[in-house]
Amino acid sequence: MIGVFDSGHGGLTVMRELVRRFPHREFVYLGDHAHAPYGDKSGSEIIGLTADACGRLFEMGCEMVILACNTATAAAARPLQEGWLHQQWPGKKLLGIIAPTVEAATQTPWHVKEPVFPQKFNTDTIALFATRVTVNSGVYGTEIHKRCPRVRVVSQACPKLVPLLESGAPRPEIQAAVEEYVAELIGSLDAAPEWAILGCTHYPLVADLFRAALPAQTRMLDQPKVVANALEDYLERHPLPESRGRVRYYTTGNSADVERVATMLLGESLGFERLL
């Protein structure tokens, strides 16, 4: 059984792709809606909340948990992997989503920590849209520059987007926020970026709005598909038993409210239950 964790609804974009790609595997989703959003919380808060949520998923029987949240990955993945996981849950796996996204952006395996041919001559500009925590961590720029030192990563924090999406705000209000953030980033550049990374799993929920606001020549990296590709590769190297394809959705918040927003965002009922 594989757990998928996010601070709220954003991880559903990853969950949807994983369920589509692996129909014979059992997935459990947990959204920490009671404490969302994570984007403006301190690193220690995010580490504590992420550990609590992942612990609940491991208690349910998950062999692996995917942090389908860039903010949680940026702030908590490494500290939890290096200490808490081995001490509290030996034998379990905790995977973030920034590593496979960097691999896709640089076309370089994660274990390669220095420039190689031909990627070291790449001079693209990458636009990163993310939460304040992810932007301030600098993790995308740092890891991309290790592999592609000539690539320019330009980051734009989008603090209004997750609260708008989590509250089920009207689409015109969300569109205005997306257009504001894209215009701010594009206005800082001399030319259109070659690539855009939506570095928060909430943002693919409005990928069409980003696509409309970005220059036509800017290509968008599909993070949910990147994560699914990475999981497929991981499972080939570290097989887990397949199951009957059962899928469950849990929240730490009000299940009726969470289900209402999820249905509005994804266009389908998921049957969220409150995790007590």
* Known catalytic residue at 200: yes
Domain residue extents for the chain: 2-98+225-274, 101-221
- Domain 2-98+225-274 of CATH type 3.40.50.1860: yes
Question: Can you give the pLDDT at residue 71?
Answer: 95
From the list 54, 62, 69, 148, the catalytic residue is 69
pTM score > 0.85 for this model? yes
**Selected catalytic residue, list 54, 62, 158, 200:** 200
Rounded to the nearest 5°, which phi and psi values hold at 258? -65, -45
Instruction: Write down the residue that tokens 């239950």 correspond to.
Output: 273
Q: Is the pLDDT reported for residue 244 higher than 80? A: no
pLDDT at residue 183, rounded to an integer: 98
Query: Topology of 101-221 in CATH?
Result: Rossmann fold (3.40.50)
Q: pLDDT-derived band of residue 40, with 50, 70 and 90 as boundaries?
A: confident
pLDDT of residue 59: 97
Please report the pLDDT score of residue 241 as a whole number: 80
Tens-place pLDDT, residues 193-215: 999 999 999 999 999 999 999 99
69 is an active site residue? yes
Domains 2-98+225-274 and 101-221 share a fold: yes
Residues in the chain: 276
